Amino acid sequence: MKWFLLLLLVMSGCSKEPPSANRLRISFCMQPTTTDPRQAGDFISSTLVCMVYDGLTRAAQGDRVEPALAERVEVSKDLKVYTFHLCKAYWTDGKPITAQDFEQSWKQILQSASSCAFLFYPIKNAELSVKGQIPIEEVGIKALDERTLCVELERPTPYFYALTALPSFLPVALHAAGDPAVCSGPFVIEKMVHNSEIVLKKNQNYWNKEHIFLDEIHISIVSDEMTALHMFEQGELDWLGGSISPLPPDALDLLKDRLQFIPCSASTFCTFNTERYPFNNVNLRKAFSYAIDRKEIVDQVTQGGQTPARSILPPSLTGQDFSLFDPVRARDYFEKALQELQIEAKELEVLALYFKSSQVEKRLAQTLQRQWKDVLGVTIGLVQLDFKSQMQKLEKRDYQVSLASWIAHFH
């Protein structure tokens, strides 16, 4: 399903007390897994990281990217060398932010084989270095002096400038051993209570602080969508929606006149472990895929105007169109799979579908369970996990089938 960001605007709430002009109150649906840009991969952690760290560029309104710590950039005639000139900026401990901070932070991501290391592959020798075929010293990232960073690419990459606004490209204060209290962005973390709240204060050492009009951001950690909506309606939150604080599906119809829908290049899908029995059988995978009625899911489960996904990539990024709902073909492939695996259908009822702990994912999992039962005659189990546990399952390939989501870093 192609997801859309759902935004509840501040002015549409009915607040008991007017929100402070200098404070924003929002919620996250889970505790961020990290505050380190080198490790941030999920949407929640990335959102927090971009509040407390700055990079060469920043995402701006209207899908634009604007200069941040890099006050100017020079691009070679062959479009393969970017030379970034940094503005005068300081970490919260007063030490200057240098080109060396960028070079070392980026190279640490490559050396650690981070899940986001692939974002650096446009840089010369970055991919070869991650694969251990070239030493890190030969990667095309070099600090020429304290305020000049030179980046050489493998080939012209039109979107490279925009890439530098992503969380993975934001440097950490290596002299402070990555201490999150020493940051570079418009806000600093004043307080963090696990699974409860995060309080951010304006960074008085920020290079562009005169353009930061908020003094504080208060983030409540609220895992239940209905509770977050109730807090919004009671005037305890100023903003609600999107991937950081999804809306309860039961409320979408009632709230539709107060919602703003913004397209997002993203998909939610079933991932089958092709290296483990029984989904190492291609016909079984096809059977389960053709048994999914995606139109029913977007019309009756997600209910947010999503487009049924017909490929792993959302429609905005691909023209591919396959894996349509076809019960007849699903049953044909299912019979072929049973014959090849030499099993009976009931033997597959030991399978379990993993999903994250949200109302939407729970309903989605239940709908898939019913659709597979209706078409294939098999009832598989459902296992709800927190985000971290599910990610560990996926990364270790310790699963047979799981729900997963994918959001484009750029488009």
pLDDT of the chain, 411 residues: tens digit per residue? 332 333 333 323 333 444 555 999 999 999 999 999 999 888 899 999 999 999 999 988 877 899 999 999 999 999 999 999 999 999 999 999 999 999 999 999 999 978 889 999 999 999 999 999 999 999 999 999 999 999 999 999 999 999 999 999 999 998 998 788 899 999 999 999 999 999 999 999 999 999 999 999 999 999 998 999 999 999 999 998 877 888 887 777 777 777 776 677 778 899 999 999 999 999 999 999 999 999 899 888 887 777 887 777 776 676 665 657 999 999 999 999 999 999 999 999 999 999 988 888 899 999 999 999 999 999 999 999 988 899 889 989 999 999 988 777 665
- Among all chains, which residue has been given the structure tokens 């010293």? 137
Q: What pLDDT shows up at residue 348? A: 95
d(CA 265, CA 408): 6
Between helix 359-376 and helix 225-233 the angle, nearest 10°, is 140
Nearest-CA neighbor of 149 among 97, 114, 190, 200? 97
Which string of b and e fits 160-172 if b means at least 16 CB within 10 Å? bbbbbbbbbbbbb
Q: What pLDDT shows up at residue 20? A: 55
d(CA 300, CA 256): 15
CA 376 to chain centre: 33
Q: What pLDDT shows up at residue 319? A: 61
Rounded CA Rg of the chain? 23
The percent helix, strand, coil of the chain (3-state, each to 5) is: 35, 25, 40
262: exposed, middle or buried (C-beta count within 10 Å: 0-12, 13-18, 19+)?
A: exposed
d(CA 91, CA 93): 5
Q: What pLDDT shows up at residue 7? A: 34
d(CA 322, CA 212): 47
d(CA 14, CA 12): 7
| Whole-structure pTM value | 0.82
Q: Are strands 187-193 and 197-202 parallel, antiparallel or unpaired?
A: antiparallel
Distances (CA, A) of 316 to 2, 3, 166, 311, 404: 9, 11, 20, 11, 19
Q: What pLDDT shows up at residue 151? A: 98
